[in-house]
A and B are shown apart, each in its own frame.
Chain A
Amino acid sequence: NAGVTQTPKFQVLKTGQSMTLQCAQDMNHNSMYWYRQDPGMGLRLIYYSASEGTTDKGEVPNGYNVSRLNKREFSLRLESAAPSQTSVYFCASSNTGFEAFFGQGTRLTVV
């Protein structure tokens, strides 16, 4: 049982480049989330999706877009990367009223 799988694990981008972070879960969860974690900080919610076909902004959505492709997959896109987006990105999934399961993270550096 893979749980939550994120790709890639590491990425270096130049300022202005675009990329998509992929996330897939095999637990049949309704809700999926994208968080970012800066050094020494907690997790801040970027976007979440309560169910297939719906997405909503979290605390720090600026500079990001998301797509809930199907129940399993929830992608995060950076259209024009900025150094301030250097962070570790975590995808998570859950069912309402239960704990969230996290992926291993994507370490993104924007130079």
Chain B
Amino acid sequence: GESVGLHLPTLSVQEGDNSIINCAYSNSASDYFIWYKQESGKGPQFIIDIRSNMDKRQGQRVTVLLNKTVKHLSLQIAATQPGDSAVYFCAEILYNFNKFYFGSGTKLNVKP
């Protein structure tokens, strides 16, 4: 199967600081990438996505950066809040197969 990995399994940040969560993906043919947030006891929820023809996409307090040269994806959260504490997964998708491959996740702890 495909491999999507994360560099940092746990990240602790101070409330108000910016957070950066990284992800390495393996398939250069992947068409589409998504970041999901999973709170304890819940299913993953969509945060932001980016297509392979883009380098950057911004949402509300979140930015995703895609570096296809090194097959790297990052999620930046501005002014991190306690409600941002969760596990974050990146996923890569190949359109031809419409299958989502997930990494092992990064747990974000926001300290008050």
| A102 engages B44 (CB within 8 Å) | yes
Query: A21-56 vs B: 1/0 string, CB under 8 Å?
Result: 000000000010101000011111100101000000
Of the candidate stretches A11-19, A62-70, A74-82, A89-97, the one touching chain B is A89-97
Question: Pick the contact of B45 from A33, A41, A50, A102 — CB < 8 Å?
Answer: A102
CB distance from B73 to the nearest CB of A (A): 14
B43 touches A103 (CB 8 A): yes
Q: Establish whether residues A42 and B98, one from each chain, have CB atoms under 8 Å apart when the complex forms.
A: no
Q: Is A110 an interface residue (CB 8 A)?
A: no
A43/B89 contact (C-beta < 8 A), A59-B1, A99-B46, A101-B46 known: yes
Contact between B103 and A99, CB atoms less than 8 A apart: no
* A: number of interface residues (CB 8 Å): 26
- Total number of B residues with any Cβ neighbor in A under 8 Å: 24
How far, in Å, is B43 (CB) from chain A's closest CB?
4
Question: Closest approach, in angstroms, between the C-beta of A57 and any C-beta of chain B?
Answer: 10
With A42-B103, A43-B102 known as contacts, the answer to whether A99 contacts B43 (CB < 8 A) is no
In the assembly, what is the distance between CA of A94 and CA of B93, in Å?
Answer: 12
Given contacts A4-B43, A42-B104, A50-B98, 4 further A-B contacts (CB under 8 A): A35-B102, A40-B104, A100-B46, A101-B46
| Interface residues, chain B, with chain A CB atoms under 8 Å away | 1, 4, 31-32, 34, 36, 41-46, 49, 89, 91, 95, 98-105
